[in-house]
Structure 1
Amino acid sequence: MTDTTARVRELNLYRQYFDLVAAGTKTIEVRVKYPHLADLAVGDTIRFRIKGTDETCEVKVVRVTEYTDFESLLDGEGPSSVNPTATRDKQLANIRAIYSPEKEALGALAIQIGPLA
């Protein structure tokens, strides 16, 4: 028997992205395909936290899509879903400032998020 219970995941976010998620304007979260995210599933809850604070925002996972790299992810999802306040090129630069080429080589996850029901 497998456990299909939705889980709560805690992930840190920078303030600028946290505010977009909390406002509901950022609907795609970008992450490297780390092993600890391999079983992230539709229905899971993500509790985003601004690192070093008690400020949180909870969202529901609507969809998880894998991409080979960040460029493919931005092209597949549309940059306005990832960050409606920045151009595609600026977003790509920002994401690559966070994640090294070695981490990008693990693959990229587009996590579509929505409000808790």
Structure 2
Amino acid sequence: MSSTPCVRELNLYRKYFDLVAAGAKTIEVRVKYSHLADLAAGDVIRFRIKGTDDTCEVEVRRVTEYPDFGALLDGEGTSRINPTATRDEQLAKIRAIYPPEKEGLGALAIEIGLLG
């Protein structure tokens, strides 16, 4: 009997959703919230653009925890997170989404691969 992978639904902004759907974004960055603490390789993430029916499913290949977003960008490299922006631009955009108290929870680099 095989176990069914855990499916999580997470919202994404359109520009990042499009990069994931095109296969260009293979690392998703998230704060280590309690509901993501047990995310593991083999799980499935269904990304959704909030307020729409647009979805894209990916398989989690790896989850790596970092103390902050700067360490994550340095450890993972920026081209797989957002190939259209520099490291400094990415750090500024991530920190605009997540305030310092959220970043203090830890940062997750989630390596993903498109399903289907």
Count of residues in correspondence between the two structures = 115
CA distance in 2, matches of 1:110, 1:88: 15
Q: Secondary structure of the residue that 1:113 maps to in structure 2?
A: strand
Aligned to 2:38: 39
Normalized against structure 1, the TM-score is what? 0.95
Aligned to 1:58: 57
Taking the TM superposition and a 5 Å limit, the aligned residue runs for 1:1-117 are: 5-116=4-115
Q: Which has the higher helix share?
A: 1
Structure 1 moving runs of 4+ over 6 Å:
none
CA distance in 1, matches of 2:59, 2:115: 5
Gaps of 5+ in 2: none
Q: Deviations over 1:29-52 (max 9, x none)?
A: 000000000110100000000001
The Cα shift of 1:115 comes to: 1.8
Normalized against structure 2, the TM-score is what? 0.96
The Cα shift of 1:6 comes to: 1.4
CA distance in 2, matches of 1:7, 1:20: 23
Percent identity of equivalent pairs: 79
CA distance in 2, matches of 1:95, 1:51: 18
Q: Deviations over 1:43-92 (max 9, x none)?
A: 00000000011100000000000000000000000000100000000000
Gaps of 5+ in 1: none
